[in-house]
Structure 1
């Protein structure tokens, strides 16, 4: 008697079960993710940013700012009614955040957009102490027509394409803004 002939044939059911398990492991997560998106269940309510997200593709021109220069990430302070104390605090904060980026500071800049001329002593101070601060004119008609743009001074994070990403009011925490910008720079493939 030949021992190779006496061996029983392998069960085919076990191989099919393994194939079905492999397909389930590969397709299962994709099907679950699609169902979560389609039927809106198990979606986290938390968010990883601190400011107001501007997710509708608006650019600087939507808030009345026309900018020129090399494209980079920007901390833009807008002051539709002149640069009061809150505006000055945001300008200072934007500069400190830019410095806080450390080695990534070259990827971002800071700017001020105002509708009115600055007081002469403050304008001289900006020239002296903030040499890298870009200055832009602000069209108040376009700014006030935009529902995303509140009346007071605001700080905006703008991407290198000129799109508005996040908005902060004058009471915003500088550390939170810095964390948001660092995260954006980390995940960004542009600028």
Structure 2
């Protein structure tokens, strides 16, 4: 009788050891196939940077008409907003968010530039220019801008704003009504991970 109890106890002990050893494997399968974790941790839409380098055809110029290529800001991360000179409330919100997002990066804020690509020849509101001093305001050929910047189906580039990496490649897109707190996390991760810019 004692021999049978010892064998039964030994079997239970073996089963417990097996369960302990197998539990991480079972948990990983459960997590992967049942819980299905999100592999995407970024908020913005990633764009393959190899497909969208800054084109020379933009013909960008400063507001006084002097040629100023977007390449001038290579070496830094560029927050880019394409929009015409008629800047209503949604446009002003993006300019404001870009300014605040840059400031929110603290010691890394000098690694970011803000560029408003003005896509028409209309004059800009001088109070707007003063309010967003520090944002580079460049005029660019609208057809070249639309050909370069990818947009979601049924939208145009002015419905988004973009992030260009320090090598001069477009790499991320945000909707115009984007949550600045989520963009802040994206930027912080990129600046932390990047050794350039």
Query: Normalized against structure 1, the TM-score is what?
Result: 0.67
- Measure how far apart 1:119 and its partner are: 4.7
Unaligned runs of 5+ in 2: 1-31, 61-68
Name the residue aligned to 1:108. Answer: 112
Please give the per-residue CA displacement for 1:84-139, whole angstroms capped at 9, x wherever unaligned.
3322211111111011111111111111001124554x2x1243222211122232
Taking the TM superposition and a 5 Å limit, the aligned residue runs for 1:156-175 are 156-175=162-181
- Please give the residue correspondences for 1:1-191 in structure 2 after superposition, counting only pairs within 5 Å: 45-57=38-50, 58-61=52-55, 64=58, 66-70=69-73, 71-79=75-83, 82-117=86-121, 119-120=123-124, 122=125, 124-146=126-148, 148-149=150-151, 150-151=155-156, 152-191=158-197
Instruction: Give the deviation of 1:55 after TM superposition.
Output: 1.1
Does the Cα contact within 8 Å between 2:71 and 2:168 map onto a contact in 1?
no
The alignment's TM-score, normalised by the length of structure 2, stands at 0.65
Aligned pair count reads 149
Measured against aligned partners, the alpha-carbon deviations of 1:131-161 in whole angstroms (never above 9, x if no partner) come to 2111222322123334713413321111111
Gaps of 5+ in 1: 1-40
**Segment of structure 1 superposing worse, 104-113 or 140-149:** 140-149
Alpha-carbon contact 2:44-2:172 (below 8 Å) kept: yes
**Within 2, Cα distance between the matches of 1:153 and 1:113?**
13
